[in-house]
C-alpha cells in the first residue's frame, strides 16, 4: 500500500476480526477487547471498530483519557476503563457513557456524585485485588464497597454491570487460589443484592489454558492482535493471525569494499565486498538500539537480510550481499509481520531483546503511520507485490519463485540434530541448502544431522578454514559437500572452488546471496536470542573451529528456524 510515508504499520482488519472470532470460539462467552496503549501500538480506534464488528461485547482501556479519545474517534460501543488518579474527570466519563471500573469507595462515590449532577446513571464495574497486589479493592474493602454499590444502585445513580480482577499468571495453583478469592467476592456481591452481568478474570493466557477461569466473560488484549502470550506456543498454534506488518523501504544503496566500517563506532566491518541498504527505521520508531549486532533480519525481495552496524535514531543499515544487484531504491522492506507470509515474526525481536512481544509492538513510535488494511486493500497490496515480483523476475528471469515456507521452534541440541536428519533423508544429488544465522546459532549442528540423514562418512565438522569439505556416501547415495561461504566475496570466487553442484548435496553456511541463480534450493534462517548460550561457537568464523567442533556447539536456548523452498522441487513443502 502506497501512503507516502517511509514508515508504515499495516494493520490487518481481517486478522483482528478473525482473532476475535477465534477467542469467542475458545471462551464461549462475552469478550472484552482491550485497546489500551493505543491498541497495543496498533491504533486503538482502528482495531476497536474491527473487534466490535466481529462480536466483541465491549472495548477496554486503562484510563479515562484513552476512553474519551475513542469516543472522539467515533467509537460508540461500550468502553470500560479502570486506572484512575485523584483528579480523575468522572463527569466527562459519565457524560460520554464510559463504564468506569472502580477500585475504592471514594472512586465509587465520586462517580455517583458526577452522575447525580448530570441527571444520569453511571455504569460501573467493581475492580478487585485477588492476589496480584496491584490495582483493585482489597478483601478488607469488599463488604463496605459492595454495600455502598447496592445503596447507590437502588438510588439510581449507578448501575453495577460487572465485577473483575486480574490474574498474576504465576502458575495454575496460584491462579486457582485467586479464582477462589474471586468466587468469594462474587458470592458476597450477590448477597448484597447485586447480580453482575459481566464476570471476568481471564486475560489472554488463561483464555487459552484455563477454561475453568472463563466465567461468563474473558478480557483479552494481546491475543486480539494475533500474538501468543506464551513463550512455547506460536500465534499459529493458537489459531491466531498477527495483525501488524511493519514496513519501510530502501531509501539508499551503497556498494562498499571488504573492511569498510558501517555506522557509528564501526562496530561492524564489511566481511567482503557487499551492498548496503539504508532503511529509515531507527530507535525513535521502535527498532531497539540493542538489536545492533544481535542477528535480527528484515525481509527484502523475499530474502531475510541482516541488520548491521549501530542502529540510529532514524535509520538502520541492512547488508544485502549479492542480492544488492536485484534491489532498487524504493523497494519494500518488511521488519516483521505474519511469519506465515515468509517474513520475520515480531518474536524474533523480543527473543533477541530478552523481553516479551507486548513490549515491542507497544513501543512502535509515533512517526510510524498506522494504516488499516481491509480485504480489498489486502488484495490490492498482494497485486502490487505481485507486480513488483514480476518486475524483479523480468530483470532476472532465472530467479525461482518462493514455493513453500514453514517455521519451526527448536528447543534443544538434539532437536536441531534430529531436524537435520529428517531433511537429509529427503535430499538427493543436485539439492542445495543455504544456512543463515549468527555465530553459535547451530548451523554446523544442523549440517551434522543432515549428513547423518544422507548416510555420508563423518564427522561433519566446520569447513571454515578449508572453505569446503566433501563427505562420500556410505550407502551408495549422493556425497555431501559442506561449504562455509563466510570468506567468499562473490559468486565468482564460489565458481573458482569448482564444486559438483549437480552430483552432490551442497550445504552452504553463510551462503545467502551467493547462490541465487539455480532452479531450486532451500534456505534455512536460524534465529536465536541475543547472548544465547552455546557450548562454543559452531565454527562460524571462530578462532578455534576444530576445538569448537569437538565441543557441543549446538544451541542450549530455543531457536526459530524459517525453512523456505524455492522452485518447483519444493512446491509441496520442504519437511
Choices 2.40.37.10, 3.30.70.20, 3.65.10.10, 1.10.150.170: CATH for 244-367: 2.40.37.10
Q: What is the CATH number of domain 15-238?
A: 3.20.20.10
3-state secondary structure of 93: helix
How many whole angstroms separate alpha carbon 320 and alpha carbon 306? 8
Residue 108 near residue 148 (C-beta atoms within 8 A): yes
How many whole angstroms separate alpha carbon 523 and alpha carbon 402? 10
pLDDT tens-digit series, residues 225-255: 999 999 888 899 999 999 999 999 999 999 9
DSSP per-residue letters across 461-525: ---TTTSEEEE-BSSSS--EEEEE-TT--SHHHHHHT---TTTSEEEEET-TTTS--SS-EEEEE
How many whole angstroms separate alpha carbon 574 and alpha carbon 405? 8
How many whole angstroms separate alpha carbon 80 and alpha carbon 103? 13
Give the strands of the sheet with 316-319, arranged side by side.
252-256, 274-279, 316-319, 303-308, 297-300, 332-336, 244-249, 8-12, 369-373
CATH 2.40.37.10 domain locations along the chain:
244-367
CATH 3.20.20.10 domain locations along the chain:
15-238
| Residue 325: predicted pLDDT | 82
pLDDT tens-digit series, residues 5-51: 899 999 999 999 999 999 999 999 999 999 999 999 999 999 999 99
| Residue 502: predicted pLDDT | 78
- Return the closest-CA partner of residue 94 out of 66, 126, 117: 117
Question: How far does Cα 430 stand from its chain's mean position?
Answer: 35
| Residue 493: predicted pLDDT | 56
How many whole angstroms separate alpha carbon 510 and alpha carbon 7? 30
Tell me the CA distances in angstroms from 374 to 44, 226, 362, 398, one per residue in order: 16, 16, 22, 34
pLDDT tens-digit series, residues 211-221: 999 999 999 99
Tell me the CA distances in angstroms from 250 to 263, 310, 335, 472, one per residue in order: 16, 17, 12, 44
| Residue 315: predicted pLDDT | 96
| Residue 533: predicted pLDDT | 37
Sheet strands (E) in 250-292: 252-256, 261-262, 268-269, 274-279
| Residue 184: predicted pLDDT | 97
Q: Which three cell numbers stand for residue 329?
A: 531504491
Choices 3.40.50.300, 3.40.50.1980, 3.40.50.970, 3.20.20.70: CATH for 400-570: 3.40.50.300
| Residue 484: predicted pLDDT | 75
| Residue 512: predicted pLDDT | 64
Residue 344 near residue 527 (C-beta atoms within 8 A): yes
Question: How far does Cα 213 stand from its chain's mean position?
Answer: 26
| Residue 483: predicted pLDDT | 82
N-to-C CA span, the chain:
33
Active site residues: 36, 264
Q: Which residues of the chain have pLDDT under 50?
A: 1, 382-383, 385-399, 489, 530-555
3-state secondary structure of 411: coil
| Residue 498: predicted pLDDT | 64
How many whole angstroms separate alpha carbon 129 and alpha carbon 114? 25
Angle, nearest 10°, between helix axes 142-155 and 172-191?
A: 40
How many whole angstroms separate alpha carbon 316 and alpha carbon 294? 13
Q: Environment class of residue 371 by beta-carbon count within 10 Å: exposed (0-12), middle (13-18) or buried (19+)? A: middle
How many whole angstroms separate alpha carbon 496 and alpha carbon 556? 37
| Residue 552: predicted pLDDT | 38
* CB under 8 A, 24+ apart: contacts of 184-192: 185/128, 185/130, 185/139, 185/142, 188/142, 188/143, 188/146, 189/126, 189/146, 189/149, 189/160, 189/163, 192/146, 192/147, 192/149, 192/150
CATH 3.40.50.300 domain locations along the chain:
400-570
Q: Which three cell numbers stand for residue 387?
A: 507486480
Q: Which three cell numbers stand for residue 111?
A: 462517580
The phi and psi torsions of 263 (rounded to 5 degrees) equal: 65, 180
Amino acid at each position: 500500500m502506497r501512503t507516502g510515508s517511509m514508515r508504515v504499520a499495516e494493520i490487518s482488519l481481517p486478522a483482528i476480526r478473525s482473532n476475535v472470532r477465534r477467542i469467542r470460539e475458545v471462551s464461549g462467552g462475552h469478550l472484552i477487547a482491550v485497546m489500551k496503549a493505543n491498541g497495543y501500538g496498533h491504533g486503538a480506534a482502528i482495531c476497536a471498530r474491527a473487534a466490535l464488528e466481529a462480536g466483541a461485547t465491549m472495548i477496554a482501556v486503562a484510563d479515562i483519557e484513552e476512553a474519551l479519545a475513542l469516543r472522539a474517534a467515533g467509537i460508540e460501543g461500550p468502553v470500560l476503563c479502570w486506572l484512575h488518579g485523584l483528579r480523575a474527570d468522572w463527569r466527562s466519563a459519565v457524560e460520554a457513557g464510559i463504564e468506569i471500573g472502580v477500585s475504592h469507595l471514594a472512586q465509587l462515590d465520586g462517580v455517583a456524585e458526577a452522575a447525580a449532577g448530570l441527571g444520569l446513571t453511571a455504569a460501573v464495574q467493581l475492580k478487585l485485588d485477588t492476589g496480584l497486589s496491584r490495582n483493585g479493592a482489597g478483601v478488607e474493602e469488599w463488604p463496605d464497597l459492595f454495600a455502598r454499590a447496592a445503596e447507590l444502585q437502588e438510588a439510581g445513580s449507578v448501575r453495577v454491570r460487572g465485577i473483575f480482577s486480574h490474574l498474576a499468571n504465576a502458575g495454575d495453583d496460584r491462579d486457582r487460589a485467586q479464582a477462589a478469592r474471586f468466587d468469594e467476592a462474587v458470592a458476597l456481591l450477590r448477597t448484597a443484592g447485586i447480580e453482575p452481568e459481566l464476570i471476568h478474570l481471564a486475560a489472554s493466557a488463561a483464555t487459552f489454558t484455563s477454561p475453568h477461569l472463563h466465567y461468563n466473560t474473558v478480557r483479552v488484549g494481546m491475543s486480539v492482535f494475533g500474538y501468543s502470550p506464551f513463550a512455547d506456543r506460536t500465534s499459529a498454534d493458537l489459531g491466531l493471525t498477527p495483525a501488524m506488518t511493519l514496513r519501510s523501504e530502501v531509501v539508499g544503496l551503497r556498494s562498499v569494499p571488504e573492511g569498510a566500517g558501517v555506522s557509528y563506532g564501526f562496530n561492524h566491518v564489511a566481511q567482503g565486498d557487499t551492498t548496503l541498504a539504508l532503511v529509515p527505521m531507527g530507535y525513535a520508531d521502535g527498532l531497539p538500539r540493542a538489536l545492533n549486532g544481535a542477528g535480527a533480519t528484515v525481509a527484502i525481495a523475499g530474502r531475510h537480510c541482516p541488520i548491521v552496524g549501530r542502529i540510529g535514531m532514524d535509520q538502520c543499515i541492512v547488508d544485502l550481499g549479492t542480492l544488492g544487484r536485484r534491489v532498487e531504491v524504493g523497494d519494500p522492506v518488511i521488519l516483521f509481520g505474519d511469519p506465515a507470509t515468509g517474513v520475520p515474526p515480531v518474536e524474533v525481536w523480543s527473543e533477541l531483546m530478552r523481553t516479551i512481544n507486548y513490549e515491542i509492538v507497544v513501543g512502535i513510535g509515533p512517526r510510524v503511520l498506522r494504516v488499516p488494511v481491509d480485504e480489498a486493500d489486502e488484495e490490492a497490496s498482494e497485486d502490487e507485490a505481485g507486480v513488483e515480483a514480476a518486475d524483479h523476475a523480468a530483470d532476472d528471469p532465472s530467479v525461482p519463485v518462493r514455493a513453500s515456507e514453514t517455521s519451526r521452534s527448536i528447543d534443544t541440541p538434539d532437536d536441531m540434530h534430529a531436524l537435520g536428519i529428517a531433511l537429509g533423508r529427503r535430499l538427493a544429488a543436485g539439492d542445495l541448502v543455504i544456512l543463515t544465522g549468527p555465530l553459535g546459532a547451530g548451523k554446523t549442528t544442523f549440517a551434522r544431522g543432515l549428513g547423518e540423514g544422507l548416510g555420508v562418512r563423518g564427522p561433519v565438522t566446520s569447513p571454515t578454514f578449508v572453505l569446503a569439505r566433501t563427505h562420500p556416501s556410505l550407502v551408495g547415495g549422493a556425497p555431501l559437500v559442506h561449504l562455509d561461504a563466510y570468506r567468499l566475496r562473490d559468486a565468482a570466487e564460489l565458481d573458482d572452488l569448482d564444486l559438483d553442484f549437480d552430483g552432490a548435496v551442497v550445504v552452504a553456511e553463510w551462503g545467502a546471496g551467493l547462490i541465487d541463480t539455480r532452479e531450486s534450493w532451500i534456505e534455512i534462517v536460524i534465529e536465536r536470542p541475543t547472548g544465547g548460550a552455546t557450548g562454543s561457537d559452531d565454527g562460524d568464523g571462530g578462532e578455534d573451529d576444530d576445538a569448537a567442533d569437538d565441543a557441543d556447539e549446538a544451541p542450549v536456548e530455543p531457536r526459530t528456524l524459517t525453512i523456505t523452498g524455492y522452485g518447483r522441487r519444493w512446491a509441496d513443502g520442504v519437511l
